[in-house]
Chains A and B, each alone.
Chain A
Amino acid sequence: MSTRIHRRRHAKNIAAQVLASAATLLALAFLVWILWETISRGLQAIGISLFTKITAYADQGGLANAIVGSAIIDAMAIALSAPIGVMAGAYLAEYARSTRLGATIRFLNDILLSAPSIVLGLFVYVIVVLPMTAVTNGTTTFSALAGSIALALIGLPVIVRTTDEMLQLVPSTLREAALSLGIPQWKLTVQVLMRAAGSGILTGVLLALARLSGETAPLLFTAFGNNYMAFGPLEKMASLPAAIYQYTNDPNPALHAIAWAGALLIALFVLALSLLARTVFARGKTSHD
């Protein structure tokens, strides 16, 4: 009798362990599958023309304008979100650590972190693209600036959260020591605390860049797209994710190949940034001790 119960519990335990291991293997299999397809299909279409020709040549062309456009839009987005995010994070950590306003902002920031990006795109469409169209009588409609504002909204909560957390980790003895020397609080925050938490804050900025550089949905109705080179922030601008979206929807298989090459570029960029963020964070940690 007791051996039967024991045997049944044992069998259940083995089954659970096997299933849990299988679940992990399945998730890893999907990871390998997705990465493998992206790498193998992407490599086939990577060549010089991918970086030198623009999308106007369609299947004879490349993604040069999309790469340049993505670089410009992403750079503007991070230039917008990094200072605002770091300052907002500093407010939460230094001035609102245990106030009700701080708790509310922290809470809503976490919601913004997983808010649907397509709605943020619509938001920027309504508050930037529509007014811009009205003011300029339709000469400026979709613009790289609008795209970068939409992406900045996606990067912002990442930076706010990491800055907040990293500043909270700085030992309070550092604050007390600096304040006892008579340093004003803004100087303490900027020159002492932010320096101490520097690598952590940089990690947050890198993660935000990794996150926003892969976003597609909000760009469709803000930066729109452009088959030619564009550099002005008020022009419609091509971007890698939007170009991939457009090419994937096209029935022409030659364009699919180019889209895979673009996907590989984005994947490499995002993974490299994630790794860089990890190493920056790890190095900051060791030098601190």
Chain B
Amino acid sequence: MSVASVTLDSNRGRDRTDARNDALFRWALRFCALLVLAALLGAALSTLWGGREVLFGDGWRFLTSAQWNPVENRYGAWAPIYGTLVTSLIAIVIAVPLSFGIALFLTEIAPAWLRAPIGTGIELLAAIPSIIYGMWGLFVFVPFMAAHVDPLLDASLGRLPWIGTLFQGPPLGLGLLTAGIVLAVMIVPFISSVMREVFQTVPVRLKESAYALGSTTWEVAWDIVLPYTRQAVIGGIFLGLGRALGETMAVTFVLGNAYGLTASLLMPGTSISSSIANEFNEAAGLHRSALIALGFLLFVVTFIVLLIARWMLRSLQRKAGKA
């Protein structure tokens, strides 16, 4: 046997082990990537399974009934659903104009040297753990609302016909409005960073053309930048909405955990996530099943909202990639 054929043989052996290792490696990586899918699917299926007694036992009544009564073992999810929707809606109504203002400031108004530090500051709001928002909300913001904001709203907006009922009530500080405001502060960094990012994708020549025609900064932002980025901006808003719907700790402390349904935003309420956090460890049997069923509902709703968000953001990335 010649030397050359020996090395050729050993090379062939090595090729074979390399090929086998490559295949193994590829499968290991693919397995890990599929775990991401498994996590989402598992979260949906396991909460569906854990809440099956209530979800399949009560059907639609679980969604529409407002009676949540652990003593009689009857569970209707309308009060937590209502609380989740209302607090998230308040958060969006406050956070969207704020975020737009911030994005506008950081892309068009602020001098260049100020943009990076202020941008970092706004992003820090997203880094603060939600339990700290909750503590700050309960010990600092609730007393502030009770002392200054609630009485003011009750005396001014509360006197108006129609919308007055929204703002009437004792100055508790706790309640749907307070939770909505805390949520708004939490989601502002998410929405504003998406807006800021997409505002920067607007072609400079488009903006400069508008400026050359004599547009003001506001007109460029409102008539050029916003229409150009509309879809991604809506995606960013849905992203913030997804966050607000699922947020637990920040709202649990400031909502007041009350199952009564009231029209007033100044009254305590509950939300899906705070019901779960408050009651899960004391619950057993059907009560626990009802809480897991609430978790399933929350997961489905946030999944749909986030799906819309990512879909709208994805098509923008494509556009930016092409341009």
Binding site for B on A (CB under 8 A): 9-10, 12-13, 16-17, 19-24, 26-28, 30-31, 33-35, 37-38, 41, 83-85, 87-88, 90-92, 94-96, 104-105, 107-112, 114-120, 122-123, 125-127, 130, 153, 156-157, 160, 184-186, 189, 210, 213-217, 220-221, 224, 241, 244-245, 248-249, 256, 259-260, 263, 266-267, 270-271, 274
Contacts and interface: CB of A to CB of B under 8 A. Distances in A.
B39 to A, nearest CB: 6
Given A84-B32, A87-B29, A111-B306, A119 B47 contact: yes
Nearest to B299: A119
Contact of A122 (B28, B50, B99, B101): B50
Interface in B93-121: 97-102, 104-106, 109-110, 118, 121
Contacts of A125: 50, 292
B298 interface: yes
Contacts, number: 262
A95 B32 CA distance: 13
A186 B28 CA distance: 11
Interface stretch (B71-79, B147-155, B259-267, B273-281): B273-281
A110 B125 CA distance: 20
B228 interface: no
A111 B39 CA distance: 11
B286 interface: no
Contacts of A215: 129-130
Max count, chain A CB within 10 A of own CB: residue among B33, B118, B121, B188: B33
B277 A126 contact: no
Contacts of B34: 105
B249 A245 contact: yes
A110 B101 contact: no
A23 B100 CA distance: 9
B47 to A, nearest CB: 5
Interface residues of B, number: 88
B135 A244 contact: yes
B307 interface: yes
Contacts of B242: 114
B90 interface: no
A26 B97 CA distance: 12
B138 A92 contact: no
A124 to B, nearest CB: 9
Contacts of A90: 29
Contacts of B46: 122-123, 126-127
B206 to A, nearest CB: 19
A87 to B, nearest CB: 4
Interface string B193-206: 00000000000000
Contacts of A248: 134-135, 138-139, 253
